[in-house]
Amino acid sequence: MLEHVELFFKSIFIDNMVFATFLGMCSYLAVSKKVTTAVGLGAAVIFVLAVTVPLNWLLDQYLLRNGALAWLGPEYADYDLSFLSFILFIATIATMVQLVEIVVEKFSPALYNSLGIFLPLIAVNCAILGGSLFMQSRDIQSLGLAFNYGLSSGIGWFLAILAIAAIREKIRYSNVPAPLRGLGITFIITGLMAIGFMSFGGMLTGGDEAPAEVEKNTVQKTEEVKTIKETDGNSVSYNNAIINE
């Protein structure tokens, strides 16, 4: 239970999609001129992320990752299909977006009217594919956590676009230097908001998260170096260089 709460707040505030990893910036900048449209797109992103991340988690777990095909029988146990993940993830996302559009149109015309135009846009929103790819690279452990990750990343994105839309509605009345108007000032404000969000960094672990991560990375690195050394005796000097780093 605790890990769910931790992941939830971490994805919303610390690893916020817009402010920490810059995912979905294109639609974030293009659709944030009015609060109402921003709310529509934000809701659509939450919805699609919460559906596609768990689906892609299942795909990753039972089809793509190294040894994932073991459930077919022992002779399939050493297949590694992870190079196919881009194409499968994007296909899942595009299909799901189409499906969601059809279902929503059929059962809830009111919701369709408010989300409708945004849904096709979402298939090519980097936040959606990014959510699935980060889910894969961060090694999310269970289906429930994957759902949680999708949902909370979506909420984080929603918060970000809502905030910038509200600011942009107000900034229309300010005297911004002419060359900065529109896009330029939006970039700079987003930068300042991102600095603000960085202060959430110490929220969960009291600030010692970063060193732990560094340690983990170095451990991984040395392991990699070892494997290279075992397989190839000629590249020892190159390996030493990596260790010294």
Footprint of another protein on this chain (CB under 8 A)?
19-26, 29-30, 83-87, 90-91, 94, 120, 123-126, 128-130, 133-134, 137, 171-172, 176-185, 187-188, 190-192, 194-195, 198, 224, 242
- Tell me the closest approach of the beta carbon of residue 29 to another protein, in angstroms: 5
Query: Of 134 and 158, which CB lies nearer to another protein in the complex structure?
Result: 134
* Shortest distance (Å) from residue 225 CB to another protein: 11
98/205 with CB nearer another protein: 98
The first and second tokens of residue 89, run together, are 């993830």
Burial class (CB in 10 A: 0-12, 13-18, 19+), 169: middle
Residue number, 188 or 212, with CB nearest to another protein = 188
Name which of 25 and 166 has its Cβ closer to another protein: 25
CA dist 160 and 150 (Å) reads 16
Q: How far is the CB of 202 from another protein (least distance, A)?
A: 15
Cα separation, 116 vs 99, whole angstroms: 12
Distance CA 132, CA 146 (A): 9
In the complex, least distance from residue 110 CB atom to another protein, rounded to whole angstroms: 25
Q: What is d(CA 56, CA 130) in angstroms, rounded to the nearest whole number? A: 12
Position 166: which residue type?
Answer: A
CB of 56 to another protein, least distance (A): 12
- Please answer whether residues 118 and 97 qualify as being in contact, where contact means their C-beta atoms are separated by less than 8 angstroms: no
Q: Which tokens go with 198? A: 């960085």
Q: Which is nearer to another protein, 21 or 37 (CB)?
A: 21
